């Protein structure tokens, strides 16, 4: 059974997400997932597990900085991995809902 996505490409049923689904969504976005991507994706999923919501960009930057250091916890690094809106795209690939303040 194929994972159902909404019109914006977000996973509808979070329980249907898997690393293979992440690879598929990333591919649709023109991204080949690397260990650097997975480091952020795993943290985004932990954040969602902890707080029950998807992080916004500012929150994502601060959390990554506190956990992985300032070299990774900055907008430029995250934009390099997830162009456009890092939190929105990371959440999409991680199978999470769109952050509440993202267009």
Q: Which tokens is 27 given?
A: 């591919």
Q: Which residues are catalytic?
A: 102
Is residue 75 in a domain?
A: yes
Is residue 39 in a domain?
A: yes
Residue 46 is part of which domain span?
34-93
Q: Which residues pair with 98 in a beta bridge?
A: none
Q: Which tokens is 29 given?
A: 């976005």
Is residue 71 in a domain?
A: yes
Is residue 9 in a domain?
A: no
Instruction: Walk along the chain (103 residues) and give the pLDDT tens digit of each residue.
Output: 578 999 999 999 999 999 999 999 999 999 999 999 999 999 999 999 999 999 999 999 999 999 999 999 999 999 999 999 999 999 999 999 988 765 4
CA dist 99 and 23 (Å) reads: 20
Is residue 72 in a domain?
A: yes
- In the chain, how many domains are there? 1
78: three-class secondary structure by DSSP:
helix
- The CATH number of whichever domain residue 55 belongs to comes to 1.10.10.370
DSSP state string for 10-34: -BSSGGG--HHHHHHHHHHTT----
Is residue 38 in a domain?
A: yes
């Amino acid at each position: 059974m194929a994972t159902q996505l909404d019109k914006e490409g977000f996973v509808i049923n979070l329980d249907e997400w898997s690393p293979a689904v992440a690879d598929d969504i990333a591919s649709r976005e023109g991204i080949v997932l690397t260990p650097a991507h997975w480091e952020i994706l795993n943290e985004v999923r932990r954040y969602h597990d902890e707080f029950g919501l998807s992080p916004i960009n500012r929150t994502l930057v601060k959390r990554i900085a506190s956990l992985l250091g300032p070299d990774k916890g900055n907008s430029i690094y995250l934009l390099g991995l997830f162009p456009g809106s890092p939190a929105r795209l990371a959440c999409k690939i991680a199978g999470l809902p769109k952050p509440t303040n993202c267009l």
